[in-house]
């Protein structure tokens, strides 16, 4: 029975991952910024002693260490740690982006990722092994788009970090891997758009072709993680072949993934 820690798992992809790991018999540690949100999700999951939850700011090294220590104390060891937590900035050109928004995104998405990997690497080496999964996002593969310079830059760094760690770790028994969910309908995706704007209407067309829901994507990701036993592995939902197929059939398969969002 594996123990899995998922940062940023009180909603969206993280929550979906937690639910699917539990469904497959794993022990899960839920994490979010507030203990109230964590406790609410634990109540919804209703997994008894197979689930625990602890709040922390993932950009704070001491709090991250506290999360690791609490998870290890609760379940004896941590087999899988998923660095899922992240934030976005309002979709603006860099010159128009508030300094505070730039600093917050870099603090959470990049500094938080570096600090989390450091804490978990040290913990997993001490326990004799384990698996870290770093979550990709827009920009990880070199994609560029107006208004995404800040977020995309932090996500582009994830691939470098993961490759660098694989070389540093060698045969230590700690595996570092990549998780790529593709375009998933979450608050993070929609939150920075004005859904009445022409920009949203244009983006929505692409999202409806390439996007999917949390309920569709997360079971696939969890199954891929549980089958993996190799450092450097990548579990990706939206592959190039799948994207090509979606575009080829877009004229025949009409999808509206955002009806609930726009109707809210």
**What digits encode the pLDDT tens for the residues 59-101?**
999 999 999 999 999 999 999 999 999 999 888 999 999 999 9
Active site residue ranges: 151
**Matching residue, tokens 């929609």:** 190
**Of 43, 93, 84, the residue nearest 186 (C-alpha):** 84
The pTM assigned to this predicted structure is 0.90
- Helix, strand, coil fractions of the chain, as percent rounded to 5: 55, 15, 35
Q: What is the CATH number of the domain that holds 137?
A: 3.40.50.720
**80 in a structural domain:** yes
11: domain range? 3-185+213-238
Answer yes or no: is 223 within a domain. Answer: yes
| Two structure tokens written together for 43 | 């109540």
- Name which of 53-67, 110-124, 154-168, 188-202 the model is least confident about: 188-202
* Distinct helix (H) and strand (E) counts, the chain: 11, 7
Residue 197 lies in a domain: no
Task: Give residue-wise pLDDT tens across range 193-208.
Answer: 656 666 656 666 667 6
Whether 70 is in a domain gets the answer yes
Q: Is residue 202 part of a domain?
A: no
145 part of a folded domain = yes
188 pLDDT band, cuts 50/70/90, is low
Average pLDDT of the chain?
A: 89
- Residue 43 lies inside a defined structural domain of this protein: yes
103 occurs within a structural domain: yes
Q: 149-156 — which CB contacts under 8 Å span 24+ positions?
A: 149/93, 149/94, 149/97, 150/89, 150/94, 150/97, 150/101, 150/102, 150/105, 150/106, 151/88, 151/89, 151/105, 151/109, 154/86, 154/105, 154/106, 154/109, 154/110, 154/113, 155/86, 155/109
| Count of structural domains, the chain | 1
pLDDT at 142: 85
> And the tokens for 29?
């540690």
């Amino acid at each position: 029975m594996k123990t899995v820690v998922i940062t940023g798992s009180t909603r969206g992809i993280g929550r979906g991952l937690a639910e699917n790991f539990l469904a497959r018999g794993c022990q899960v540690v839920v994490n979010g910024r507030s203990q109230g949100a964590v406790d609410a999700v634990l109540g919804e999951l209703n997994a008894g002693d197979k689930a625990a939850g602890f709040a922390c700011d993932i950009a704070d090294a001491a709090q991250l260490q506290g999360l690791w220590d609490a998870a290890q104390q609760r379940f004896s060891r941590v087999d899988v740690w998923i660095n899922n937590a992240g934030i976005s900035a309002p979709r603006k050109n860099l010159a128009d982006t508030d300094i505070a928004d730039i600093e917050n995104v870099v603090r959470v998405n990049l500094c938080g990722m570096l600090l989390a990997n450091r804490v978990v690497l040290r913990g997993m080496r001490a326990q004799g092994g384990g698996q870290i999964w770093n979550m990709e996002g827009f920009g990880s593969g070199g994609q560029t788009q107006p208004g995404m310079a800040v977020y995309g830059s932090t996500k582009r760094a994830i691939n470098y970090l993961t490759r660098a760690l694989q070389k540093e770790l060698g045969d230590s028994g700690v595996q570092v891997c990549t998780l790529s969910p593709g375009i998933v309908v979450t608050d993070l995706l929609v939150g920075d758009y004005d859904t009445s704007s022409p920009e949203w209407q244009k983006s929505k067309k692409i999202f409806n072709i390439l996007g999917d829901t949390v309920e569709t994507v997360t079971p696939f990701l969890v199954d891929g993680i549980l089958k993996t036993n190799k450092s450097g592995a990548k579990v990706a939902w939206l592959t190039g072949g799948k994207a090509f197929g979606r575009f080829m059939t877009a004229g025949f398969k009409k999808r509206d993934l955002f009806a609930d969002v726009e109707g809210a």
